[in-house]
Each structure stands twice: as structure tokens, then as C-alpha cells.
Amino acid sequence: MNRSHNNGELRTSDIGKQVILVGWVARKRNLGGLVFIDLRDRYGITQIVCRSELDSITTGIRNEYILQVEGQVAPRESMNPNLKTGEIEVIASAIQIINVSETPPMIIADETDALEDLRMKYRYLDLRRPIMQQKLIERHKIVRSVRNYLEERDFVEVETPILTRQTPEGARDYLVPSRVNEGKFYALPQSPQLFKQLLMVSGLERYYQIARCFRDEDLRSDRQPDFTQIDIETSFFSEEDIYSLVEGLFATILKDVKDINLSLPFPRYSYHEVMNRFGSDKPDTRFGYELADVSNLLCHNSFPLIADAITKEGSVKAIHLPGKAKELSRKELDTLNELAKKHRTKGLFFARFFGQDEWEGSFTKYLSDADKTGLMEQFQLVPNDLLIFVADPIWERVCNALGAIRLVLGKKYESSSFTGYDFLWVVDFPLFEHDPEMNTYSSTHHPFTRPYDEDLPLLDTNPALVRAHHYDLVLNGSELGSGSLRIYDQQVQRKVFEIIGLSQEEIEHKFGFFINAFRYGTPPHGGVAFGLDRIAMILTNSESIRDVIAFPKNASAVCPLTEAPSNIDDKLLAELHISLRNQK
Amino acid sequence: MNRSHNNGELRTSDIGKQVILVGWVARKRNLGGLVFIDLRDRYGITQIVCRSELDSITTGIRNEYILQVEGQVAPRESMNPNLKTGEIEVIASAIQIINVSETPPMIIADETDALEDLRMKYRYLDLRRPIMQQKLIERHKIVRSVRNYLEERDFVEVETPILTRQTPEGARDYLVPSRVNEGKFYALPQSPQLFKQLLMVSGLERYYQIARCFRDEDLRSDRQPDFTQIDIETSFFSEEDIYSLVEGLFATILKDVKDINLSLPFPRYSYHEVMNRFGSDKPDTRFGYELADVSNLLCHNSFPLIADAITKEGSVKAIHLPGKAKELSRKELDTLNELAKKHRTKGLFFARFFGQDEWEGSFTKYLSDADKTGLMEQFQLVPNDLLIFVADPIWERVCNALGAIRLVLGKKYESSSFTGYDFLWVVDFPLFEHDPEMNTYSSTHHPFTRPYDEDLPLLDTNPALVRAHHYDLVLNGSELGSGSLRIYDQQVQRKVFEIIGLSQEEIEHKFGFFINAFRYGTPPHGGVAFGLDRIAMILTNSESIRDVIAFPKNASAVCPLTEAPSNIDDKLLAELHISLRNQK
């Protein structure tokens, strides 16, 4: 179509030009004999001024009509600093209606009146809102940045199968009945993990894929049945090489998309450190309120929760909230107490400090003078400070409970300072999780994760202490993804299988073709995978992952637009050799 | 890992340098006390020379072991012009075995002994063959070229859902039972058609996606259950704009990937012209042997097939093969005759020309002197020329039969000249297919294809004559893809639905949410989709589409590597509310 400019393009330097614009009517107003139309396209909004000569056509124009407008660029009397084109307007000489529109069921503007259900049902209108289009475009920019960065470094994108085989473990697979192979099913991949490792066996050395993945899990607000992963695998890379690669990748994304210079390298914390200090394996380090250990300090305290924790070699930790003694109400503390209980502790206890001998909180009566002095010294308490404690025989529970409380308090008191992008690595995960009751081991992540070379002797003596070449990348308290070096030595692989108690038959059944591949010259390899949806959500400041997915599903795994999933004719099911189980 | 260079990199200018290489042992030879190892990685092969000091380690080295080699670059005595590194070798000073390999079940080199079944079962070894890696890399380069081209033109890649709703028509869908929504099924998309049109309704204006698509069809050699499409949709583009966009796209791909300059624009043929001249709607124009119409010339001929065709207003066509009168044996002609019959004609007939009155072929006795003179003039016959005829009451059958014969003859006699890339457009398709017996109409492509504006009045008077804004892109006789402008006027849409006999209920049932979307200001839009796998197959000179897919399925839709699809535990099926139909 004839279209000399888009609607985000004209500036004062264009004044006097004859232009042809195309777009949707975002707004129409009558003012003193003139009709003003805000004409919108993907690029912006331009104000069109229609004199009375055009009344015969402007009368019928309504919101969301599509127009082609010819006219001349003129300076604008009342400028609009919120528009890129806010200093000009176009005096229309001719208007053609390209298409009409019924009254849309929602307001099509950055601020809309529609609830999310309606927005998803009319997604094509929701996506007409400039703010939503910008999110899709920004997501695209992220992907573009990823591709350029990796391709400059010789990475090859390889598409791996979507119709593949059921994975041996992990989340639930989506299954696809085969028509040609009666009684058999494909599975949609939870990740390209096996294929990308096989590509390393193939000698491809540097693979990446913006990969569609699928997990049939119960949905949370930040989960979708189908999601997208930035998937990377390398051969002959050390863990340090991978850190550099990934740090450079995110520095490039932030530069390209947000024009922000990240400082590199990202800080690294061991799993134990982040748990101890932040009570989370994906800590938000944009604020303080770190957890402090007071197990030693309070080791003689007789408060039952503390005494029990100490006796059973558990842990007592506290968060120090300067000046907040009177700020947190009893009701808020009750809510935090429930949160602590959700994390399987017996709840929090607290101490309000108003002076040497002025402590409040039912637990404070158990504080000896030594305890009090110790706490004052450790936390450098001043009047009006608040301490929140959790004690439990199990260290992880204390960490997790106080970590959850820390997050609530951080958001309550510190969110005004949440402006930056705090990336960090969590490393030194244990290779195995040990169940002391059953004395069994299971893989913390997956059985192909490579142990530290220097910890190999511990495989025989104390597997619980073996550290894994596994690393998580965290941004502002969200896990963006994780990765590991993989085992390429068959001896080590056998030993790991042994420790987690897999028999030869189980190995063959679960990992058959994959293990076989490793017999023919497997290079040292490792990789990483990041959730693209979550990255896009954070970088576009979106509330929900659904805002950065063009056609998302709701919490019932339904697409309100297409009404997928839907009923299927039994004749079709017969062709697939299946039937519904409980047909009514 | 330490690695100073890759194995495709070293040249005579590097002679004297100390280097560290990593790679797989492609070959090992003992020659006069020296051991020669061809070390292979993704980038190439470098010859390693090991003196006797290294015997203790080289003795144990076998093919496909992974080595790290330290050494010095030296000039090579007998150069190998087939290797990029053929003028140098590396004199090893130290070798470390990084990993070992069992004897692989196939030869890992460009020329392999393995049949395709074995290659697919051990795909990770098949893909270790340099020629296969190059195909994957070249496919990646094609995609990269597409992305760069489209992104420079402001196209936004948007991911559309993989778990979506059953499509109303077309091929069979793959279905995915929903666990959360009992008795309901998702479908995998045959293409993102509906979603990309909805994105135009959203005002995105320029969309693309390298899209995974799925069709549960019976497989042919160039089909896969999951395949990849270069998917494009635009708003406010004319058909000419789309031609330019696509021609620029393929010119860019050919330049980037093959360093070939295509001449633009691509020729355009109407559907009728390619059928008449080449007997195919995807003609291979790299050679001649065009079909010639002889219906008028032979309109008085009494040969029964001709007479029948003429009486019933059918068609008689011929292919002229200069100098081939004695070359095509009776047996070959019999095979071609079978081919003509496969296309639902009564077979071919032929005339061998040796001079004014010397004609051979049983049909030639029906030729009058006028017929003979006419044929000699029309084809400028010289002795030893051959004419092959097909006659039938139905024009399409004649075209298709002779078109198929033309292809066989072209491959037989002209394939030595098949060096270029002959792109062309086929346009002016009819909007409807008319069934004269039932007097019904159906959409030639799909009911959203926009008719020519100047043909709109024919919708009421003679729908069979309405031409569609539909276009196919053909390369060397393969259809790369097709596209169309879409209807955006609701009146026209209603009329088209009427003509193909859809009731309001059927429209609602089949296209409900999609048609609804068009009520709110739909821009004029259109697009195109190309089969990436086929493009990659042609540009990498591959025999099969499977050669450009990392992990393909065989003709039974089975992946021989993973053995997908597989049996699934009944407990899992129960969670999905389905059961097998004929359980034994």
C-alpha cells in the first residue's frame, strides 16, 4: 500500500511534507469544528487533523477503523511530550477507510480496563495495545541478541525433535499417540538435553537452540505447558569457559536490549553460602536483611525451639531489621509466622529491642544477660531494632523459612531500591542428596552431572561430600537457568549409577541408547539452559510470564482464545487406537 | 581446555609454531617407524606425526579416540591438496588421551559403508562425518541468512503455540491428550496460519517465524512428521511487495550460503501457462522438452485417442525430442506409457521421424499428409526426431501425464546441465475448484485467499473464473512454498463461504474465534510459507530431506535412534484419561 511514513516517524524536520499514513483509529475527538484522530500503527501514534471539508467521511469513523490518510505535516499547537511525534500533526487532505471495526470489547491502550481472562480471549486486541506489542518486540530483541552473540562464537543452531521418546525421569511428559505405530506414543521433550549431549558426541562442539519445551505440570503463575529455553552445549569447555560465555551473553543482552552495562564477572556463591546468608538457592541480593547464625550464641538458651534445635545439631538463625521494632504489626508477624510454618518449621519468634533491658516479645523472657549482650554485640543493636528468629533441628528448614521471610520484608521495605539487575552464580552443589534414614543417595540434579576431579576419591568414602560441576544463574532472586559439566568417563558414570542404586537393567531401560553413544569417543562437554520466558518477563518489567508470550495458556492449561484443548471426534481417536477412559 | 588452534586452521604461515590441538582420531598409520594420525574436529583434519619416543602412547591409540596433541607445525613432505591443512603437519611432542572409543559400527568419513537404517540408529556417529556436519552447518547458515534479511526489514519473530487446537481442515493433526482437562486434546499445529493472521489483526504488521509444524500424513521420502517452515505474514503489502520481499530473501540466501548471484525478478508464469508448457504446477525449467499443443493441428485425425479427446473438447499435446528417435528403446517407451497411465490417461503414443515419408510408430499410420506437414512445420522436424503424444478428454490429465514424462526425459538427457538454481513463480490460480458433475465449488487453497479485485463481480456470475491472489514459489521443479493475500473484507468472506456451501453453523464451528477476530479492524494482509527442510536439501545437494535434519524419522515415522514412539505404562495413560483401544 501507499504509505510514505509510519506513525512513529514524523518530526518537526518533516513540517511541510506531503505524507501518506496508514493505521488504526486510536481516538477521535471533535473540537471546535475540527476532528482530531490519533492514528496508531506498530511504530507509534500521529495526530491527524481533519477540517470540515472531510466531515462527510470523518462522521462515520469510529475507534479501530483502519484509515489511509493523505496530508501535510504541520507544527502542533499544543505539543504532547509523551508522543515521539508530539511536536507535529498531519492536516488531512484525503481519508480513505480501509476497513471498519465493531466496538471492541476492551480499551485498546497501554492502560486497559480488561481483566486477564478477557484479554486472553481477545488476545488479538490485547496485543494491539502498544505496551504488549513492545513486550513481544523486546522479547524478539533478546532472542536476536542471543543468536548474534552465539553465532559470532561459532555456535550452530540445531533443531532437535519435538516428537520424541518419553524421558526417563523428571516432570510429566505430554504424550502423542502414534497412528502408524499402534499402541505407541511419542513424547514432547521436556528439554533437548539428551539430543544436545548426543550432538557433542557427534563432534559439533558448539550447539545452541532457542528450544520449545513441554512439561505437563500443575501450573503456577510463572509456568506454561509449552515454554522456550535458550539451550547451549559445548565441548572442550571448562567450567570457567562456560561462566565467561554466559556472562558475556547476558552482558550483551542487557547492552543490546536495555543499554545497560553489566559489571563482570558475576559474583559466585557456594550453595551453602547462599543458603546460610540469604535462605535461598536463588537469592535476591538487591537488598540486605541477611540471615545471621546465632546457634553458638544461643547454645545455652532454654527456649524450647532453640533447645531442641541445638540438641539435635540443627540451627538457629535471625534476621536483623534496624528501626523496625514498632513498624511490623502483630498481624504481620503472624502472617510471617504462618510462612515459617509452611516451610516445615514450628514458626518464628522475635525480639523487639528498645534498650539494654528493654526487650519485647514473649520469647525474650528466655534471654539470659549473656544472650542479650551477645545479640546486641553481634547485630550492633540500637533502640527500635527488631530481630526475627527461626530455629529447627534441620538446617535447610531454618534457611528456607527465614529466606521466605526475608523476601517478604525486602519487598515491603526495600523495593524502592530494586532498580538494577543483580546476576549471580550459585555453585558447589552437592552431587548427591543423601537420605540419612534410608541411607540412600539420589542425584541432586541428574546422574550425568560431572563430579569435581578432586572429589572423585570421596565417591568411595563419603558420596554426600562430593561436589558437582553444576551451576545456577540467578537474576534478582529468580533462577534464570542452570547447567553442568557432564560425565564423559564411563568408569565415573558407572560409579555414579552404582551410588544411586541403579542396576544394569535399569540403566539400560532408562538410558539405553544414550549410554551406548558414550562408548564411541565422547568429548568432555557441558552446557547450560535458560528460561527465555522468564528472562523476557524480567527485562520487560512484566507482572506475569503470560505477558511475554503471544498466545499463552491460563492456569487451567487452556487457551481462552482458541479454547484448546478441545473435544475430539471418536472416529479420530479410533484412528489413533485410543479411547476415552470414562466415557459417559 | 587448552587448544591453541582447531584442525582446519593451520597453514604454511604457521610453520614453526608450538600448537595444542584436540580432536578425534580419524585414521592412524605406521610408516617407517613414524606414526601418522589424522586428527579431526568440526573444522577439519590435521596430520599429526608421532616419532618413536611416543610409541608407548601411540600404540594404544585407535580410531575415534579423543586426543590432545602438543607439537610443532612443520612443512609436509607429500602435500594433500584435498585438505585445507594439506601443506603442513604437526610433529607431536606430547599426546594425551582424553577419551577412548570402541570400534564404531560404521566408517566415519564422507564416504561411509553404512546403510541409512544403521546411520539413523547411530545418528551421533553419522553426524560425526564431516559431510553431515557441513549439511547441518549449511542449514544453520540458511536460517541465519533468513533471519538477518527479515530483521533488517523490521520483521518480528513471534513464537506461536505448539499445543493448540485441532485445525478445521487439511491434513491429519497430531493430538495430545490433556491431563488437566479430562477428555480433551490439544493438537500440534500444521502451520501457524491462524496465529499469524491474528498477529496481523493485532497490528504487528511484519511477522516471521522459523516454525515447527506437524502433519500426521503417510510419509513419503521428502516428508517428516515434524518439519520446519519459514513463515512470514505482512500487513499493507501488495502482491508485488511480497514478490520483491521473497525474491530479495532468496537472493540473499543464495549469496550468503552459495555465493551465487541470482538474477531478479524471478519469472512469473500463470498456472495455465506452466501446465500447458511444462505439464506441472511446479515446473523444472532447467531444460526444454516443453509440451506443445497439437489439438488444432490434429483435429481431423482419426486415431481413436485423438478423436475422442477432440470430440470431448479435451486436449492433444506432444513433446519433441530432437535426435532421439533411435535412442529411446521400446522398453523405455513402455515405462513412460505406464507413467502416462498412472496419471489417468489411456497412455502415450509416439512418432519416430526419419524423413518426409518415413515415420515409425503404430500411431503414424493415422497421420494424413496434412498432419505430417503440420507436425514437420510446427516442430521443425529433422530426421531422427521423436514425438511423444498424449491425448485425453481432460486437459489436466494430458498436462500431468506429459509433464511426468518430460521430467523423466529431462533427467535422462539433460541432467548434466542441471547446475543452476531456477526460481520461478506460479500465479493466477483459480480461487475455486469446480466439480461440474455436482456443480459444487471448493477452495483451491483455503477459504481465506483473496480474489482479484477485478474478478469480484464473477463471484456472482461465474465463480470458476475467479482468480486468486495465490502464488507458489518453485525452485528446480520443487515447490518451496506458497502464499496468498488474505480476505479482509467481511462481505467478500461471507460470499466465499456461501459459494463453497458453508452454513453459518459450519462457519462458526470450523472457524469461530478466527472469524470473530476479523470484526475489529483487520488490515489488508498476506504472507507466505516455505519448507526449510526442502530448501536446505536442495542447497546442500542432498539426496534426502533426512540428511538435513539432525534426528530424522524413517518412513514408518520411527526414530531408529531413540526408538520413539514407544510403549507407555497404562498408569500414565490413566492419568491422561485414555486407554488403548484393542488391548490384547
Give the 3-state DSSP-derived string for B328-367, with helices as H, strands as E and coil as C: CCHHHHHHHHHHHHHCCCCCEEEEEEEECCEEECHHHHHC
Residue of A nearest to B175 (CA): A176
- Residues in chain A closer than 8 A to B163 (CB atoms): 174, 214, 225-226, 553, 564-565
Residue A252's pLDDT is: 98
Tell me the pLDDT band of B142, cut-offs 50, 70 and 90: very high
**Bridge partners, A129 (sequence order):** none
B576 touches chain A (CB under 8 A): yes
- Residues in chain A closer than 8 A to B183 (CB atoms): 567, 580, 583
Best of B24, B201, B566, B572 to substitute, by most chain A Cβ atoms within 10 angstroms, is B566
CATH of A12-99 given 2.60.40.1530, 2.40.50.140, 3.50.30.10, 2.70.98.20: 2.40.50.140
Residue of A nearest to B512 (CA): A562
Task: Give the cell for residue A528.
Answer: 547450560
Question: Region B508-535: what's the mean pLDDT?
Answer: 92
Q: Looking at the predicted structure, is the pLDDT value of residue A169 above 70?
A: no
Of B98, B564, B568, the CB nearest to A164: B564
- List, as ranges, residues 341-370 from A with C-beta within 8 Å of B: none
Long-range contacts of A570-574 (CB under 8 A, 24+ apart): A572/B175, A573/B175, A573/B578, A573/B581, A574/B581
Alpha-carbon distance values, B114 to B45, B107, B545, B560 (Å): 22, 7, 18, 14
Q: What is the ipTM of this complex?
A: 0.94
Range with top average pLDDT, A29-33, A211-215, A440-444: A211-215
Task: Give the cell for residue B79.
Answer: 602435500
Residue in B127, B112, B21, B118 with CA at minimum distance from that of residue A204: B127
Q: Looking at the predicted structure, is the pLDDT value of residue A32 above 60?
A: yes
End-to-end CA distance of chain B: 55
Q: Looking at the predicted structure, is the pLDDT value of residue A267 above 90?
A: yes
Q: Looking at the predicted structure, is the pLDDT value of residue B219 above 80?
A: no
Which range has the worst mean pLDDT, A254-268, A334-348, B164-178? Answer: B164-178
Question: Region B197-221: what's the mean pLDDT?
Answer: 92
Is omega for the bond preceding B161 within 30 degrees of 0, making it cis?
A: no
Tens digits of residue pLDDT in B410-423? 999 998 888 889 99
Cα-based angle A363, A369, A374 (whole degrees, multiple of 5):
85
Report percent pLDDT > 70 for chain B: 99
Superfamily of domain A287-415: GAD-like domain (3.30.1360.30)
d(CA B291, CA B399): 8
Which range has the worst mean pLDDT, A197-201, A413-417, A446-450? Answer: A413-417
Residue A511's pLDDT is: 81
Nearest-10 Cα torsion for B289, B295, B301, B305: 80
Residue B113's pLDDT is: 86
Of A24, A238, A549, the CB nearest to B1: A238
- The answer to whether the CB of A82 falls within 8 A of the CB of A39 is no
Residue B202's pLDDT is: 97
Q: Looking at the predicted structure, is the pLDDT value of residue B490 above 90?
A: no
Buried b (16+ CB within 10 A) or exposed e, B522-556: bbbbbbbbbbbbbbbbbbbebeebbbbbbbbbeee
AA identity, residue A170: G
Residue B168's pLDDT is: 67
Tens digits of residue pLDDT in A480-527? 999 999 999 988 998 999 999 888 888 888 788 888 899 999 999 999
Residue B38 dihedral angles phi and psi, to the nearest 5°: -85, 115
- Residues in chain A closer than 8 A to B9 (CB atoms): none
Residue B221's pLDDT is: 66
- The answer to whether the CB of B475 falls within 8 A of the CB of B422 is yes
Long-range contacts of B352-355 (CB under 8 A, 24+ apart): B352/B325, B352/B326, B352/B385, B352/B386, B353/B325, B353/B381, B353/B382, B353/B383, B353/B384, B353/B385, B353/B386, B353/B387, B354/B325, B354/B383, B354/B384, B355/B383
Residue A442 dihedral angles phi and psi, to the nearest 5°: -135, 160
Q: Is B231 helix (H, G, I), strand (E, B) or coil?
A: strand
Residue B306 dihedral angles phi and psi, to the nearest 5°: -70, -50
- Residues in chain B closer than 8 A to A550 (CB atoms): 158-160, 195, 199
Buried b (16+ CB within 10 A) or exposed e, A27-58: ebeeeeeebebbbbbbbbbbbbbbeeebeebb
Q: What is the largest CA-CA distance in chain A?
A: 92
Tens digits of residue pLDDT in A4-18? 999 999 999 999 999
- The answer to whether the CB of A198 falls within 8 A of the CB of A514 is yes
Q: Looking at the predicted structure, is the pLDDT value of residue B2 above 90?
A: no
Residue A219's pLDDT is: 72
Best of A139, A202, A230 to substitute, by most chain B Cβ atoms within 10 angstroms, is A202
> Hunting for cell 511534507 — which residue is that?
A17
Whether B104 and A187 lie within 8 Å, measured CB to CB: no
Task: Give the cell for residue A52.
Answer: 470540515
> Hunting for cell 572409543 — which residue is that?
B101
- The answer to whether the CB of B176 falls within 8 A of the CB of B163 is yes
Of B124, B162, B550, the CB nearest to A162: B162
d(CA B12, CA B520): 68
Residue A519 dihedral angles phi and psi, to the nearest 5°: -80, -10
A118 touches chain B (CB under 8 A): no
Give residue limits of the domains in chain B.
12-99, 134-269+424-548, 287-415
- The answer to whether the CB of A500 falls within 8 A of the CB of A459 is no
**In terms of residues, how long is chain B?**
584
d(CA A231, CA A207): 8
End-to-end CA distance of chain A: 55
Q: Mean pLDDT in chain B? A: 94
- The answer to whether the CB of B17 falls within 8 A of the CB of B56 is no
AA identity, residue B540: T
Buried b (16+ CB within 10 A) or exposed e, B382-412: eebbbbbbbbbbebbbbbbbbbbbbbebbee
Residue B399 dihedral angles phi and psi, to the nearest 5°: -60, -50
DSSP string, B445-471: S-TTBPBPGGGTTHHHH-GGG-BBSEE
**Bridge partners, B298 (sequence order):** none
Q: How many other C-beta atoms can be found within 10 angstroms of the C-beta atom of residue B460?
A: 9
Question: Region A521-538: what's the mean pLDDT?
Answer: 97
Range with top average pLDDT, B143-147, B393-397, B438-442: B143-147
Tell me the pLDDT band of B254, cut-offs 50, 70 and 90: very high
- The answer to whether the CB of B297 falls within 8 A of the CB of B374 is yes
B237 touches chain A (CB under 8 A): yes
Tell me the pLDDT band of A551, cut-offs 50, 70 and 90: very high
Task: Indicate the burial class of B355 (C-beta count within 10 angstroms; 0-12, 13-18, 19 or more).
Answer: exposed
CATH number of B134-269+424-548: 3.30.930.10
Q: Looking at the predicted structure, is the pLDDT value of residue B67 above 60?
A: yes
Q: Looking at the predicted structure, is the pLDDT value of residue A356 above 90?
A: no
Whether B160 and A550 lie within 8 Å, measured CB to CB: yes
User: How distant is the Cα of B158 from the closest Cα of chain A, in angstroms?
Assistant: 7
Question: Region A350-378: what's the mean pLDDT?
Answer: 93
Question: Region B20-29: what's the mean pLDDT?
Answer: 97
Tell me the pLDDT band of B502, cut-offs 50, 70 and 90: confident
AA identity, residue B337: N
Q: Looking at the predicted structure, is the pLDDT value of residue B584 above 80?
A: no
Alpha-carbon distance values, A548 to A224, A424, A562, B4 (Å): 11, 24, 18, 42
Buried b (16+ CB within 10 A) or exposed e, A127-140: bbbbebbebbbbbb
Q: Looking at the predicted structure, is the pLDDT value of residue B344 above 70?
A: yes
Q: Mean pLDDT in chain A? A: 94
Report percent pLDDT > 90 for chain A: 86
Residue A168's pLDDT is: 67
Question: Region B76-86: what's the mean pLDDT?
Answer: 91
Which range has the worst mean pLDDT, A77-86, B192-201, B478-487, B534-543? Answer: A77-86
